[in-house]
Structure 1
């Protein structure tokens, strides 16, 4: 299929989805574009930021100079903690890719770039051919590891990727 045809199909599907959304109906999603998205919750880094804010506020209470700067700094740290809490980490498993959010943007791996997938109680590890492992933890980020295990096992079987369950 040509790329221009694929763009037309995507554009028309997006238009139909907007119309269906206005009518209160579900979205049309082609089978090739179905994506399972597993969301976690980042709560450890915001807690660390709140502790830093508390220490900073405690140490700066005795000083009367630059009160505005102190409160601006505290407010910005609170905003940063809120941003990290609301920006939920995820693992998206599509028909021919896995995608996640890293510190500086989304990262996507095609099946040819995945060496192995291993699952342990509370952890899922995706080992890319090049680069650091992707670790999804139930303890740190509250990922639904059991659901992820089922979907990643079918993804691994479909693309002949080594799948280890420990």
Structure 2
């Protein structure tokens, strides 16, 4: 089979499985990739942006020589849209059979199990230590992640892939 045909089959399997998941049915394709996606909610960055733009508006209103023209209100609107983007673009962690994936500021990042040094779980925090690069920290405080659920899934993941797991 050609690779383009395999990509089409994989894409169609994904679409069908998503539709069946929304309907509450199980996946019909047995070789589909099984993964757990756990989402949080980002609220600190939007609040900081709204406070920043509020401070900007108050300081500019108190200035006598500054004129609030169209460009000023476009800037304010863009900051409000950026805050909405941060709020509605929910952070997530996907735990697959042999990988962990999440969204970082630069886009979606996937780390295979072989590149994970250790997984540490403590109250309110889950830390994935990588062989190379910065640690991934999932926090209940900043991103409203259900850290208990993530800890249980990652414990199974660590046992399956032979990764060091610490629970504090």
TM-score band (shorter)?
A: 0.7 to 0.9
Identify the residue that residue 139 of structure 2 maps to in structure 1: 137
Flag as ranges the 4+ runs of structure 1 deviating above 6 A: none
Q: CA deviation at 1:35?
A: 1.2
- 1:36-115 alignment runs, 5 A limit: 36-62=36-62, 65-115=67-117
TM-score by length of 2: 0.86
Structure 1 residues 25 and 50, CA gap change in structure 2 (3 angstroms): closer
3-state SS of 2:67 partner: coil
SS of residue matched to 2:149: helix
TM-aligned CA distance change 1:149 to 1:55, over 3 Å:
same
- Tell me the matched-pair count: 165
How far apart, in 2, do the equivalents of 1:150 and 1:11 lie? 30
CA distance in structure 2 between the aligned counterparts of 1:123 and 1:15, rounded to whole angstroms? 33
1:153 deviates by 0.3
Q: What is the RMSD of the two structures over their aligned residues, measured on CA atoms? A: 2.6
Which residues of structure 1 form unaligned runs of 5+?
Answer: none
Residues 13 and 32, structure 2, Cα contact 8 Å, conserved in 1: no
Does residue 1:125 correspond to 2:124, yes or no? no
Alignment CA distance shift 1:49-1:163 (3 Å): same
**CA offsets per residue over residues 14-38 of structure 1, 9 Å max, x none?**
46458868xx573635465111111
> CA–CA distance in 1 between the matches of 2:36 and 2:19?
23
Normalised to the residue count of structure 1, the TM-score between the two structures is 0.87
What residue is the counterpart of 2:152 in the other structure? 150
